[in-house]
Amino acid sequence: MTKYRRGHDRDELLADVAEMYYLNDLTQAEVSRAVGMTRSAISRMLTEARQKGIVEIKVRRPLNFDSELEEALIERFNLLDAHVLSMQQNTNYDSLRSRLGRTAAQVLRGLLRPQMICGVTWGTTVSATIEVLQIAKPIPMQIVQLGGVLGSSSHAYNAQALVEMMARKVGGEGVYLYSPFLVENADTARSIMNIPNVREAIETAKQSDIALLGVGTITDENYSSLYQGGHITIDTIQELRESGAVGDVSALHFDVDGNFADTSFHDRLVGISANELMAIPVRFGVAGSHAKIEAILGALRGGWINQLVTDSSTAGAVLALDSVEEKEKSYW
C-alpha cells in the first residue's frame, strides 16, 4: 500500500487501516509503518472508524440451553416444544430480548415450510426475532398480520412493518390488514371487519399454520408494550386489571389461570378472535423477564402459546409460581 498523502480520501484510509488491523491481523505498529503514520494516530483512526460505522464489531454469544427446564415446561404445560436459553439472572432486558430473538429465529427457521401461512403480531421480542431471521433459500409461503396496525413509527409495534420485513427475508408473500388495531367502540370494529379487503386478510390469518407471538403484561405498566407505546391509557390498564387480566397475546387478555378476560376492551380490536387464535396449530411464543412471570404462566396454562422460547431465570420462576399456586389450591 502506498503511504498516506494529504488529500487522500479520509474514509478510504480509515477502511484500509481497519482492514489491516481487524482482517489481516497486523499490529498497530505494523499498520503505522505501512501507512507512514504514528502508532497513536492509528489508534485514533481505529476509534474514528468505529464511530463512523466503517467498522462494526459484533459479539455473538453461544446459545446454551437448559434441557431440564425445557422438559419440565413441556411436561407441566403439555407443550409441543420448549427452548430455554441458559442466562444469568442479572442480564438487562435489552440483552435478554436480543438473545431470545436470536434463539427464536433459529428455532423458527426450522419450522417454516413451503405453502405455509405464518401469522405475525407485534411486540419487542417478535421484532427481535424477525430482525435476525436468516433464510438460506427462499420459501414460497404467506406472512399475514393477525391484527391491525397500532399506528406506531416503531417497527416493534407495527405489525405491517414486521410482516413486510419477514416476507422479504423468507422470500414469501405478505398479507396485510389495512386497518387500525384498536378502535373507539365495538360497532366501529365490526364495521371495519366487514370491509372486503379486511375480511379477506382476517380469513387468511385464520388459516395460519403457525403464529409468532410475544407475551404482554399489565401487572406492571412499565413493561406493557401497549401502554408504553401510547396505545392505551392507564384507565384502560386499570379496567383490564379489574377484569382479572395479567397478560396478553396480540392484545387478547387472560388471567393467571389462562382464562379469557371478560372485558369490553376485546370488542374494540380488529383482527382474529381468541377462538380463532387458539385454532392455529402452532402458537409460538417468545417471552422473558421477571416482570412477565404471571403473564407467561397464564399464557401457558390457557394454551395461548404451545411452543415457548424463554430464558432459564424466567422458566424457573414460572415453574416455581405454578407449583406454589397449585399447592395453595389443593390446600383450600
- Domain coordinates in residue numbering, the chain: 10-51, 67-331
CATH class of 67-331: alpha beta
Residue 8: predicted pLDDT: 60
Q: What is the mean pLDDT of residues 244-273?
A: 96
Please state whether the predicted TM-score (pTM) of the whole model is above 0.85: no
Task: Provide the percentage of residues in the chain whose pLDDT is more than 70.
Answer: 91
Distances (CA, A) of 130 to 136, 166, 324: 15, 6, 35
Gap between the Cα atoms of 217 and 51, Å rounded: 37
Gap between the Cα atoms of 221 and 265, Å rounded: 17
Residue 248: predicted pLDDT: 95
Lowest mean pLDDT among 8-17, 110-119, 165-174, 271-280: 8-17
Lowest mean pLDDT among 59-73, 83-97, 105-119, 146-160: 146-160
CATH class of 10-51: mainly alpha
What sign has the CA pseudo-torsion 303, 308, 311, 315?
A: positive
pLDDT tops 70 at residue 156? no
* Residue 7: band (very low, low, confident or very high) from pLDDT cuts 50, 70, 90: very low
pLDDT tops 50 at residue 63? yes
Angle between helices 293-301 and 67-77 (to 10 degrees): 50
pLDDT digits (tens, 9 = 90+) for 213-229: 999 999 877 777 778 77
pLDDT tops 60 at residue 5? no
Gap between the Cα atoms of 223 and 171, Å rounded: 33
Mean residue pLDDT of the chain comes to 90
Gap between the Cα atoms of 77 and 223, Å rounded: 24
Gap between the Cα atoms of 151 and 157, Å rounded: 8
Residue 261: predicted pLDDT: 96
Q: Which residues contact 67 (CB under 8 A, 6 or more apart)?
A: none
Task: Provide the percentage of residues in the chain whose pLDDT is more than 90.
Answer: 72
Gap between the Cα atoms of 308 and 82, Å rounded: 5
* Residue 188: band (very low, low, confident or very high) from pLDDT cuts 50, 70, 90: very high
pLDDT tops 80 at residue 4? no
What 3 state SS string does the chain have?
CCCCCCCCCHHHHHHHHHHHHHHCCCCHHHHHHHHCCCHHHHHHHHHHHHHCCCCCCCCCCCCCECHHHHHHHHHHHCCCEEEEECCCCCCCHHHHHHHHHHHHHHHHHHHCCCCCEEEECCCHHHHHHHHHCCCCCCCCCEEEECECECCCCCHHHCHHHHHHHHHHHHCCEEECCCCECECCCHHHHHHHHCCHHHHHHHHHHHCCCEEEEECEECCCHHHCHHHHCCCCCHHHHHHHHHCCCCEEECCEEECCCCCECCCHHHHHECECCHHHHHCCCEEEEECCCHHHHHHHHHHHHCCCCCEEEEEHHHHHHHHHHHHHHHHHHHHC
Lowest mean pLDDT among 49-63, 104-118, 200-214, 294-308: 49-63
- Cell readout for 277 is 387464535
**Which has the higher per-residue pLDDT, 273 or 60?**
273
* Residue 116: band (very low, low, confident or very high) from pLDDT cuts 50, 70, 90: very high
Whether the domain at 10-51 and the domain at 67-331 fall into the same CATH topology = no
| Residue owning grid cell 484500509 | 16
User: Half-sphere exposure of residue 125, counting CA atoms within 13 Å on the CB side?
Assistant: 27
Residue 273: predicted pLDDT: 97
Q: What is the mean pLDDT of residues 56-69?
A: 80
Residue 215: predicted pLDDT: 95
Lowest mean pLDDT among 89-93, 130-134, 191-195, 252-256: 89-93
pLDDT tops 80 at residue 310? yes
Residue type, 191: S
Gap between the Cα atoms of 218 and 234, Å rounded: 10
- Cell readout for 65 is 440451553
The two most distant CA atoms of the chain are separated, in Å, by: 84
For residue 175, which of 159, 189, 163, 157 has the smallest C-alpha distance?
163
Gap between the Cα atoms of 134 and 147, Å rounded: 24
* Residue 58: band (very low, low, confident or very high) from pLDDT cuts 50, 70, 90: confident
Q: What is the mean pLDDT of residues 272-282?
A: 98
**Which has the higher per-residue pLDDT, 228 or 56?**
56
Q: What is the mean pLDDT of residues 313-329?
A: 85
Gap between the Cα atoms of 276 and 286, Å rounded: 20
